[in-house]
Amino acid sequence: MSKKYNLLINTGSVLLLALVAVFTTVEHKGLQAQETEDNTTIEEISEEENTTLGEEVTVRGQAEEVETGVSFLIEEEGFLEGDRVLVINVSEQVVPEEAEDLKLQVTGELGTLVLADIERDYGLDLDPELYADYETKPVILATYMVLAPDLESVSEDPEGYYDREIALQGEVNEVRNDYAFTLKEDQLIGGDDLLIINVTGEPIPEVDEKVVVTGTVRSFVKADFERDYDLSWDLDVQEEIEAEYTDKPVLVVDSIYPAAQDEGLLE
């Protein structure tokens, strides 16, 4: 492959800052949020449940490198080892050079791996030894990828995410008005909330609904938000949000959609 892939893995806050710095300097298109209507569990794909070859799917999980800069396995997150599915990049976006432990959201076409066909159709030169175990198994031909950190990571260590597009999964905790709600970590007792600013014009989800939100992380500065967005919210709500969130991270939404339903460890 002639492309230069020089991203670093995210194993902590220091490496994350380095990763983001690389996102801003590479000549290829960086990882970016994409519009989609819903997402699919990796279990559904790996066990061929409720999925159809040729359909577009969106999955979230932890990446494990297969071929540097070209492909990786994406694994269902959880306490125990979960299902995995192969992802091959056929987009113009950058694939992390060392994808180990990097949390991503991937959108692409679901297919069955026939190496010769993929090489022919997409002009790739793949190492057959690396894919021997995946022939005739499900594969996602990725057209979009975006960082998919834990909500807690963004809330507690936002510096590496400011002005970056990401995808977050969580549970609606509190609706503040037509433009703002808070998101909390799904199934986590306690923990931090993150303020979500909805500028899409779409309705805000109900409290306790599990959703994925894609958008850009910004530090909340009232003057900047008044300049950049037409937020005609109530003065009392403005004052409350200013008091609680000034200089704290918030996510400005591009899209909101229902999270895939995980059957859980006992299913």
pTM: 0.75
The count of C-alpha atoms lying within 13 angstroms of the C-alpha of 139, restricted to the half-sphere facing its C-beta, is 23
> Where do you find CATH 2.40.50.140 in the chain?
13-147, 151-258
Q: Which CATH number fits domain 151-258: 3.40.190.10, 2.40.50.140, 3.40.50.300, 2.40.30.170?
A: 2.40.50.140
Reduced 3-state DSSP string for 22-57: HHHHCCCECCCCCCCCCCCCHHHHHCCCCCCCCCEE
The mean pLDDT of the chain is 78
Residue 134 has pLDDT above 90, yes or no: yes
**Residues 179-221 pLDDT 10s:** 899 999 876 555 678 999 998 888 889 999 999 999 999 999 9
41 has a pLDDT exceeding 80: no
> How far is it, in rounded angstroms, from Cα 140 to Cα 88?
6
Alpha helices in the chain (DSSP H): 13-25, 42-46, 115-122, 128-131, 151-156, 222-228, 235-245
Which pLDDT score is estimated for 9? 29
User: Could you tell me the pLDDT band of residue 30, with boundaries at 50, 70 and 90?
Assistant: very low
Q: Which amino acid is at 67?
A: E
Higher-scoring residue by pLDDT: 76, 97: 76
The answer to whether residue 18 scores a pLDDT higher than 70 is: no
- Which tokens go with 77? 């997150």
Name the CATH code of domain 13-147 (choices 3.30.390.50, 2.40.50.140, 3.30.450.40, 3.40.50.150).
2.40.50.140
Residue 20 pLDDT more than 50? no
CA distances from 31 to 12, 167, 219 (A): 19, 11, 20
**Higher pLDDT residue, 27 or 95?**
95
> Amino acid identity of 12?
G
Residue with more model confidence, 105 or 92: 105
Least confident of 123-132, 189-198, 246-255: 189-198
Decide which of 82 and 161 is more confident: 161
Q: What is the pLDDT of residues 46-81, one digit of tens each?
A: 766 556 678 899 999 988 888 888 999 998 875 445
Whether residue 235 is predicted with pLDDT greater than 50 in this model: the reply is yes
> CA 153: distance to chain centroid?
13
